[in-house]
Amino acid sequence: MIQTEGSEPLREGGVSVPSIHVKSVSTNVEITNNITGAVPGNDGQAGWQVSNNAIIQNTDPNAPGYYGGVFVTSSLESSGGVNAATLLPDGWVDMMNAGSDAVQFDAAPDALTPLYLVSSLDGESGTLVFDGSLTMDAGGPVDLATATFTWYFGDGTKSEGPLVQRDFSEPGIYDVTLVVTTAGGESAVEKYSIAVAGDDIVSLNNAGKFVSHGYGETENSVSSIENRGDIDGEPAIILGDTGAQAIVSRDDIKRVFGADNFTAEFSIKATAGGASDGEVSGIHSVLKVLVNSDGNIALTTYLEDG
């Protein structure tokens, strides 16, 4: 069983990373002030002007340019196949003046426009903080003292106030709705679906197969097991032959990367008359667990630079 704490609980609501495609043989090329995942084709060749482009990505919360630090969370929800992502005001992309007018934060919209941020409480993957203070109307920021903020969390519960915290005890997809009503009676709604992952990542089930645990769902892992068996009635992987006896896809454990900590639980039993030392398990370039010749368990971890 592999478990994690503090991993990224949010999802991007279907928003994809924009891309720019220009052939490297093109001439008189100017690519400036864009928000994109990359600028392929540019190798510093003559006749190309490439500058002030914000490079973003939606795969690694711990790497530069992640969506969560670029856009207002609730604006990442796509509706009817249309995305309306809004830049964080005073964020690094906003300060670059990159991107089209459509993604700029409107501090004085014609109508009441609720927007909110979602963040996870440090070390608690199921505890989220919701901040509606970016809600604007034609006069600018909505008065947080006189407007009412009602949050519906998609599980039958609700909270009041511009800044609230919610503990989700079960993993799953939750449709969170914010209803804002001003002192003058104007009301508007903002919706966003959050994904709360459980602590379990991968486990070996009673059928002797690895299963991955996602957002409240369990499915067969992308894995291979060369030598199954059972020990005392429990499913087991028989080690001892050369090569890997079981392989789990890196995608199935990707929540380990970026987690504050994780736990791997397993038991080892020596077979009579056979060798009882060697590598037990590992994550390539991250860690390795082995039993040494003295019968002790040893752990080796690797730094990012090797």
Chain segment 186-243, per-residue pLDDT in tens: 999 999 999 888 778 888 888 888 888 877 777 778 788 877 888 788 888 888 777 7
Which residue has better confidence, 12 or 172?
Answer: 172
Whether the CB-CB separation of 259 and 120 falls below 8 Å is answered with no
What are the pLDDT digits (tens) for 54-88? 999 887 777 899 888 999 999 988 665 566 899 99
Cα 77 versus chain centre, distance = 15
Mean pLDDT (whole number) for 266-288:
79
DSSP string spanning 122-166? TTEEEEEEEE-TT-EETTEE--TTTSEEEEE-SSS-EEESSEEEE
CA distance 9 to 304: 24
Domain boundaries, the chain: 210-301
Read off the DSSP letter of residue 57. Answer: B
Beta strands 29-32; 48-51: pairing state = parallel
Q: What is the C-alpha separation between 241 and 235, in angstroms, rounded? A: 18
Query: What are the structure tokens assigned to 92, written together?
Result: 């690094």
Paired tokens of 90: 């005073």
Nearest to 9 by CA among 178, 203, 167: 167
C-alpha to C-alpha distance for 124 and 4, rounded to whole angstroms: 10
Q: pLDDT value at position 7?
A: 43
Q: Are 255 and 246 in contact (CB under 8 A)?
A: no
Amino acid type, 116: Y
CA–CA distance, 229 with 239 (Å, rounded to integer):
10
SS3 82: strand
